[in-house]
């Protein structure tokens, strides 16, 4: 295994399409590109640790894809303990830290906005704090999916299901995020993916503001 894409969220139907679970839904969109389904940890060849995640093979963009073998992972530990699922996989399969790509929700980005960073802090995101602490490094890429900061209680906001209009924005964002991750999986060039997709996303947001 050369690459690990981790989507953060909480397990259970009550959390589906809540802002805190956009990481899970990005991985659902990505798995669908390769017609993959998520499976239990016990079915992963070579895995000997806790059964605290779901996995699916990463899709390939073309038969000549040179990005290497990859895995999509959804931790089942609940958000605040995400690192307990991620770190053992990284160590067991020897995944380079720079090839662990984490997708999660970001309060300080507008709903639907997307940003990739090669490394950095957590901005108080508990799932990211857990991963950083368990890996002992912040030198891994991340894709932040904007969910917008509410005027009221943020803790309630992240666990409240999207309304009809917000759901449309979230679905578009998850599809766009999956496009970027597929590009990275295929090319293995984070800087190139950032250049291509940040430019595209900025153009899309400018176009939306001009027509609104």
DSSP 133-201: HHHT---S-EEEEE----SS-HHHHHTSPP-HHHHHHHHHHHHHHHHHHHHHHHH--HHHHHHHHHHHH
> Is the pLDDT score of 62 beyond 60?
no
Are 15 and 159 spatial neighbours (Cβ–Cβ below 8 Å)? yes
Pairing of strands 142-146, 70-75: unpaired
The set of catalytic residues is: 20
29 phi-psi bin (left φ>0, alpha ψ -120 to 50, beta other):
alpha
Q: What is the mean pLDDT of residues 69-91?
A: 97
Percent of the chain with pLDDT over 70: 92
Give me the count of residues in the chain: 212
Asked if 140 contacts 128 with a C-beta cutoff of 8 angstroms, the reply is no
| 114-146 tens-digit pLDDT | 999 999 999 999 999 999 999 999 999 999 999
User: Which of the four pLDDT bands, split at 50, 70 and 90, describes residue 63?
Assistant: very low
Q: What is the pLDDT of residue 4?
A: 98
Rounded average pLDDT over 200-206: 79
Determine the Cα–Cα distance for residues 157 and 177; give it in Å rounded to an integer. Answer: 22
114 alpha-carbon distance from chain centroid: 11
| Band of residue 61 on the pLDDT scale cut at 50, 70, 90 | low
Mean pLDDT (whole number) for 142-154 = 96
Are 117 and 144 in contact by the 8 Å Cβ rule? The answer is yes
| pLDDT higher than threshold 50 for residue 64 | no
Confidence of residue 204 (pLDDT cuts 50, 70, 90): confident
Q: How far apart are CA 93 and CA 115, in angstroms?
A: 28
* Angle, CA 120 vertex, CA 55 and CA 146 arms, to 5°: 65
What are the residues whose beta carbons fall under 8 Å from the beta carbon of 167, sequence distance 6 or more? Answer: 17
- What is the pLDDT at residue 135? 98
Mean pLDDT score, 95-108: 98
Specify the CATH architecture of the domain 3-211.
3-Layer(aba) Sandwich (3.40)
pLDDT digits over 12-43, tens only?
999 999 999 999 999 999 999 999 999 999 99
Q: Which pLDDT score, from 0 to 100, does residue 202 have?
A: 85
Transcribe 91-108 into DSSP letters. Answer: HHHT--GGGEEEEEEETT
pLDDT at 69: 81
């Amino acid at each position: 295994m050369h690459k690990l894409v981790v989507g953060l969220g909480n397990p259970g139907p009550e959390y589906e399409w809540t802002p805190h679970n956009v990481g899970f839904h990005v991985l659902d969109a990505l798995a669908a590109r390769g017609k993959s389904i998520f499976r239990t940890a016990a079915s992963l060849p070579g895995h000997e640790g806790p059964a605290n995640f779901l996995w699916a093979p990463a899709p390939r963009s073309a038969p000549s894809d040179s990005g290497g073998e990859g895995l999509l992972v959804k931790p089942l530990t609940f958000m605040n303990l995400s690192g307990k699922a991620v770190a053992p996989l990284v160590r067991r399969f020897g995944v380079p830290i720079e090839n662990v790509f984490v997708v999660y929700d970001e309060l300080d980005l507008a709903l639907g906005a997307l940003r990739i960073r090669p490394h950095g802090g957590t901005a108080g995101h508990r799932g990211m704090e857990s991963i950083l602490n368990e890996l002992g490094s912040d030198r891994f890429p991340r894709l932040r999916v904007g969910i917008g900061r509410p005027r009221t209680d943020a803790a309630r906001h992240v666990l409240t299901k999207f309304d009809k209009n917000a759901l449309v924005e979230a679905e578009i964002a998850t599809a766009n995020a999956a496009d970027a991750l597929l590009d990275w999986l295929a090319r293995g060039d984070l800087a190139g993916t950032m250049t291509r997709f940040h430019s595209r996303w900025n153009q899309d947001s400018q176009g939306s503001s001009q027509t609104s």
